[in-house]
Every structure is written in structure tokens, then in C-alpha cells.
Amino acid sequence: MNRKLHFIAAALAFTALGAQAQTAGSLLGRVGITQINPDVRSGNLTAPSLPGSQADVGSSTRLGGGLTYMVTDNVAIDLPLALPFKHEITGAGAIAGVGKIGELRALPVTLIAEWRFFDANAKWRPSLGGGVTYAKVYRERSTAALSALTGGSPTTLTVESKWALTGAAGITYNINDRMFVEGTVHKTLLKTTAHLSTGQTLAMKLDPWSYSIGIGMKLR
């Protein structure tokens, strides 16, 4: 009889522990893969240039992750993390055949407020949220193809770092009271401008999609 009582008590304790998976005050950490896929709408390079000279920005995949703090059982603050992304810049529009004209490194710093649906101990927890991103752009490099397009002399470029709004959707599967798998999709409304050493500029809407998947655990 005593063994049965001990078993029941242990089972109840385990159940209670499991119910604490994502309650208020929990700090969650995760690690995985993140891809940023710009949805580019390019303006035209200012004169002097071939009319319709535009640019495209390629996708980049890096090791990612993040931290989430549960303010309440349903409200969370999420900080996605990732290694810096490297994006190639290629010709588009009238110069689509020239190939790579430059590259850049980007480190987006994003803070998201989320609403997580269902109970804190639910196996599946979808979420919706929104926040802000500071897209830090650095280490821009140009190629000989860009210099050829602008007259043959070495041409350098810089791209403005910008603030932007970000929307988020995700889903979490709680494996047990500590471990979980999480997938998220972010959409950032990002506009920026590239500046060439020739004095020319190129405005672009990058509006990237960000896709992440990772495995995590409750840190406290």
C-alpha cells in the first residue's frame, strides 16, 4: 500500500513539474538554424547609369537560436539570436546578366512581444507577435563587375543600417517539462539605400522573410 502511495505521489509531482513548462517567469533558450530570404523590390540606380539598372540580394543561412522570457503564462518577450548573415548582391533589371556586384554582412537585432495560445502545459503552443528590428549592415564589398558598370574605376559601396517593424508567427512543441522544438517565421518591413563612391544611390525594399527552427530547453 505504501509503495502505491509513493508511486501516486511521485506521479503527481511529475505532473505538477510538467505543468511548469512555460509559466510566468520561465526563461527559455534554443539553438538551431535560421535563414533570411530577402523579398527584394529594387529601385533604379541613379544617373549616370543604364536605365533600369537594379539589384537583388540573395538569401543566407546561419546558426541561430534565441531567448524567450515568459512575462505571464501567455505573454512572452522573444530575442532571436544568430551569427551574422552574408548576402550576395547581384545585378537585376537591365543589368541582370552581370552577376555578382557586391556582398554585405548583416546582423539583425530583433525584439518581439508574443501571445502564446493555450495553457502553459499544452503540448502544442502556436504564437503570434510583433516588434522591432535594427538591421545592422557592415563589411560591404564591391566587385570588378560593379566598377565596370560605373566607368571602370574602382567603385566601393555602403548600405544604410535601418530600423524596421517585424511581424512573427510560430509554433512550439513541448517534448517534456524542459525540452521543446520551435519553428518561427518573421516578416520584416525593411527599406534601405545603397551608396556608391561615384555618388550614385540605389533605394531598395528588402522586406525579408526569416525562417527558424530549433530545439530548446527551459533554463529556469
Instruction: Please tell me whether the peptide bond between 108 and the residue prior to it is cis, using omega within 30 degrees of 0.
Output: no
Q: How far apart are CA 126 and CA 17, in angstroms?
A: 21
| Structural domains of the chain, with CATH | 2-218 (2.40.160.20)
The Cβ of residue 74 has, within 10 Å, a number of other Cβ atoms equal to 18
- What does the alpha-carbon distance between residue 104 and residue 85 come to, in Å, rounded to a whole number? 8
Bridge partners of 103, per DSSP, are 88, 141
Question: C-alpha grid cell for residue 16?
Answer: 505538477
pLDDT digits (tens, 9 = 90+) for 39-86: 999 999 998 888 999 999 999 999 999 999 999 999 999 999 999 999
User: Where are the strands (E) in 83-208, listed by range?
Assistant: 85-93, 100-116, 124-142, 157-159, 162-174, 179-189, 191-196, 201-205
Q: What is the value of pTM for the model shown?
A: 0.86
pLDDT digits (tens, 9 = 90+) for 104-161: 999 999 999 999 999 988 999 999 999 999 999 999 999 999 998 887 689 999 999 9
Grid coordinates representing 68 are 524567450
- Encode pLDDT of 8-48 as tens digits: 344 333 333 444 578 999 999 999 999 999 999 999 999 88
Residues 6+ apart with CB under 8 A from 207: 38, 39, 40, 41, 187, 188, 189, 190
Which run of H or E residues covers position 144?
A: helix 144-149
Amino acid at 132: V
Dist CA 139 CA 130 (whole Å): 29
